[in-house]
Amino acid sequence: MAELQVGDRILVKPNTSIAADGFVVAGMGSIAQAPITGESVAV
């Protein structure tokens, strides 16, 4: 992930961990934020 730059697009497959901020360009998706935020309940 050290190679990512602003404007890059990546394909995130189901059940994959990602450590980057971003938004969905096409399709739909949701991310479990608990590992990042420390929240025990999904947000």
- pLDDT score, position 22: 79
Work out how many domains the chain is built from and give that number.
Answer: 1
Assess contact for 43 and 27: CB atoms under 8 A. no
**Cα torsion for 29, 27, 24, 32, to the nearest 10°?**
10
The tens digit of pLDDT for each residue in 1-43 reads 568 888 898 888 888 877 777 788 888 877 777 766 777 665 5
The DSSP code sequence of 1-42 is -TT--TT------TT----S----SSS------HHHH--SS-
- pLDDT score, position 43: 52
CA nearest neighbour of 1 among 23, 17, 13: 17
The pTM score is 0.49
Range of the domain at 43: 1-43
